[in-house]
Structures are given as C-alpha cells and as structure tokens.
C-alpha cells in the first residue's frame, strides 16, 4: 500500500520525502534485506546510503550535520523504509533516542563527537535500559554508576540490547546515588564498545532482523567524567526526551512492516485463482484486508499526531499520544501480518514471500520498548484517571 490516504493532510515536502526514501529503499528491497539478515550481516550499504542522503540525520540539528527537521520526518523515513521491505530497527535507537538525547542535553563536546556521525550514518549508537530483573519496571533498575575521583565506575546487567556489535558505543541508563538522600536516580552514560569491563553476548532469537540482541555485563567499567550525558540531576527528564521519540519510531517501524505485509497480501489476492475468481473477490479474504487498511491508516494518523506534538515541544501530550500511537500501530501490524499470512495460504509460510518472518518482527513492536499492557496501564491511569493497578 502506498501512502495515498494521508496525502490531503500531509504537506508536499513530506510526500516528497516519502517518495524519495521509497525510491532508495526499493533499490535494495526485501530480498536484499532478508539475505543480509539470514547471513547475520549488517545492512551497511543501505545504512551508509541512507546516511549520505541525509535521511538518518533528518531530525538532528543542522549545525551538527543534521537536516534540522523533526521526529515527524524521521518517522516518515523509517515507515517508508519498512514499507519497501527494509525495516531499519537501528533508526529507532541511534538517531531517534541517542541522537535526540545528545542534541537536547549533551555537552558541546558530546554533540561534536557524536551528532555528525549519527547523522551521516558513519557512527552508530545503541541504547541500553532493559535489565533482566527489572523488565517493564524501570524503577527497579540496578545498574549503578558511582564516583571514583573524577571518573565513574559503572556496574550492572542489561538484556535485549539491539545492535551492539554494529555500534560504536551504547547510551546506557544507570543510576547514581543522591549524596543527600541515598536514593538512586537515573543518569545516562555514553560507553564506547571497546571499554574494558564492558562485555556482551548475543541472545539466540527467532527473529529475521539485521540486528542481534545482546546480554550485557558491566563490571566496574571506568568512564571519564565526560561520559555522563547532561546533568546528573536531570536524568529522568533527559531519559523521557529519548523515550517519546522511541515510541513514535516504534510505531513507524510497525506501520512499515504492516504496509509491506498488506501490499504483498493484496497483490496475491488480486491474482491467485483457485475457483472461478481471484481469492480477493471473496469477502472472507477482502474484508479482513480492508479492515487492516483502516487500522493501519488510523494508526498512521495517531503516529503523526504524536510526532507533531513532540516536535512542537508539547512533551506531556506527546507522551500520551506516542503511547497510543505505539499501541495502535503494533496491534495493526500484528493483525495485518496474521491476515496476510492467511491470505497467502501455504505461501504465507514460504521464504519466497517473506511474510512468516514478519510474524515475529511485528510482535517485537507489541513488546518493546514498552509492552501493550504497560500502555494500557498508562492510559487507564493518566488518560482515564483510574487508580493504579500495580
């Protein structure tokens, strides 16, 4: 499915961006992407070309090599890559979370060191918040940064961290101890991948993606004072600056996959004939696909609303909208891929059509970065004012 329905409400420059990204992505296409993923290789050529064209850095500040636009444009880029069969998961992490946090809160030195590379794709940064014993409950994070003279010593465990092997560094969420109260508060640290004491091990996953997920072991990792991003006391605010773009981008990721699946299914249903007419003429096939098209379109509108609220600086409203958009996009994507697989019958499970791999890929968007249930908890509590249940 192309993007026709959004056109009347989308400015011409956004439509042009969609077309240009789609043209680039289609030159690589789903076969290239799946071949790389099966070989466990990074999609370096595509990433480099996307960076050179300015797509990866479209939301980063112009003075540090970016395009000076917003998360709206970055989400458009990711959605179009996914729709063309090239879902660049690391875009959620490297430019959207790490780039945004550094652009908003980094020191001048950190901005100069990282933003031009994140923007042109020559450098990549992973993001690590999830911990084995904390999971959805980030209040239980135990990775700790303590002072040792001017330095920091970072110790803890992380899990499911994407793309470390292709990244130059990881932006880790840790906790520092408040000297007055003894309470632990979040703080963000840039940790270059080769730092002594930082080890990572791939987790075998049933996912066909260009990135692996890793377990991380941080044992007294010594970091210079300048590894801390922003102020030690403003960790939570800084963290949220990255998490809203992360939710918007996960919605874009899911919607790209959903559009890819719906296009494959409708193409197939238009021509596959086992009785007298193509299977797409049967309402049992056509109606569920039409329902998916509606769900995708609604989620796209919600994603654009969330992105625009964020870009206009309405952080609180963006938080609610980004949660809703992520939820709606993940549900639309899971439903669409399920229906697409069914539409193709046995071919839905062949490698040739590539739909079966999307079953697990779309599930990721229901689980990460925040699960469906945690979003429902958020909406119940914050939107509806219901009592907290957990």
Ligand X SMILES: Cc1cc2nc3c(=O)[nH]c(=O)nc-3n(C[C@H](O)[C@H](O)[C@H](O)COP(=O)(O)OP(=O)(O)OC[C@H]3O[C@@H](n4cnc5c(N)ncnc54)[C@H](O)[C@@H]3O)c2cc1C
> Binding residues for ligand X, per CB under 6 A?
93, 127-130, 135-136, 160-162, 207, 213, 364, 367-371, 373-374, 377, 390
Minimal distance in Å, beta carbon 172 to ligand X?
A: 9
Neighbours of 27 (CB within 10 A): 12
Residue 347 Cβ vs ligand X, minimum distance, rounded to whole Å: 26
CB atoms under 10 Å from CB of 312, counted, come to: 12
| 168 versus 297: smaller Cβ distance to ligand X | 168
Residue nearest to ligand X (CB): 135
Say how many CA atoms lie within 13 Å of 94 toward its Cβ: 31
DSSP sequence for 182-225: --EEEEEEEEETT-TTEEEEEEP-S---SS-EEEEEEEEEEE-G
- Of 3 and 97, which CB lies nearer to ligand X in the complex structure? 97
Would you say 89 and 98 are in contact if contact means Cβ atoms under 8 Å apart?
Answer: no
Cα 59 to chain centroid, rounded: 14
| DSSP string computed for 221-289 | EEE-GGGEES-GGGHHHHHHHHHHHHHHHHHHHHHHHHHHHHHHHHHHHHH-BSSSSBGGGSHHHHHHH
Q: How far is the CB of 148 from ligand X (least distance, A)?
A: 25
Cα(206)–Cα(182) distance, integer angstroms? 42
Smallest gap from residue 35 Cβ to ligand X (A): 20
- CB 133 to ligand X: min, Å: 9
Q: Which is nearer to ligand X, 5 or 207 (CB)?
A: 207
Nearer to ligand X, 72 or 377 (CB): 377
Measured from the CB atom, is 93 or 279 closer to ligand X? 93
Q: How far is the CB of 149 from ligand X (least distance, A)?
A: 29
Q: Any idea what DSSP says for residue 150?
A: T
Q: Considering the complex, state which of residue 300 and residue 326 has its C-beta at the smaller distance from ligand X.
A: 326
């Amino acid at each position: 499915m192309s993007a026709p329905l959004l056109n009347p409400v989308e400015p011409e420059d956004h439509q042009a961006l969609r077309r240009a990204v789609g043209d680039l992505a289609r030159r690589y296409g789903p076969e290239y992407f799946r071949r790389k993923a099966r070989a466990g290789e990074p999609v370096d050529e595509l990433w480099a070309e996307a960076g050179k064209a300015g797509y990866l850095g479209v939301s980063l500040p112009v003075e540090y090599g970016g395009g000076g636009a917003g998360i709206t444009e970055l989400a458009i880029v990711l959605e179009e890559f996914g729709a063309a069969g090239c879902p660049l998961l690391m875009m959620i992490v490297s430019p959207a979370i790490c780039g945004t946090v550094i652009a908003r809160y980094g020191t001048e030195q950190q901005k100069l060191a990282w933003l031009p590379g994140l923007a042109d794709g020559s450098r990549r940064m992973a993001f690590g918040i999830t911990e084995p014993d904390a999971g959805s409950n980030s209040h239980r994070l135990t990775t700790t940064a303590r002072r040792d003279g001017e330095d920091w010593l970072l110790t803890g465990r992380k899990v499911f961290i994407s793309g470390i092997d292709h990244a130059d560094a990881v932006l880790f969420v840790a906790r520092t101890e408040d000297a007055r109260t003894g309470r632990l508060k979040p703080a963000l640290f840039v940790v270059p991948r080769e730092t002594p004491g930082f080890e990572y091990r791939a987790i075998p996953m049933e996912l066909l993606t260009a990135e692996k997920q890793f377990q991380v072991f941080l044992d007294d990792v010594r970091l210079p004072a300048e590894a801390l991003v922003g102020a030690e006391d403003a960790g939570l605010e800084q963290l949220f600056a990255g998490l809203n773009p992360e939710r918007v981008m996960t919605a874009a990721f899911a919607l790209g996959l959903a559009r890819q699946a719906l296009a494959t299914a409708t193409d197939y249903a238009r021509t596959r004939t086992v009785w007298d007419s193509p299977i797409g003429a049967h309402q049992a096939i056509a109606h569920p696909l039409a329902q998916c098209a509606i769900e995708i379109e609604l989620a796209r509108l919600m994603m654009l609303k969330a992105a625009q609220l964020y870009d206009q600086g309405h952080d609180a409203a963006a938080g609610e909208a980004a949660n809703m958009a992520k939820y709606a996009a993940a549900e639309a994507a899971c439903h669409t891929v399920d229906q697409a697989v069914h539409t193709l019958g046995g071919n839905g499970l062949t490698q040739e059509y590539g739909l079966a791999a999307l079953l697990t890929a779309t599930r990721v968007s229901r689980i990460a970065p925040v699960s469906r249930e945690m979003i429902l908890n958020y909406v119940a509590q914050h939107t509806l004012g219901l009592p907290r249940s957990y």
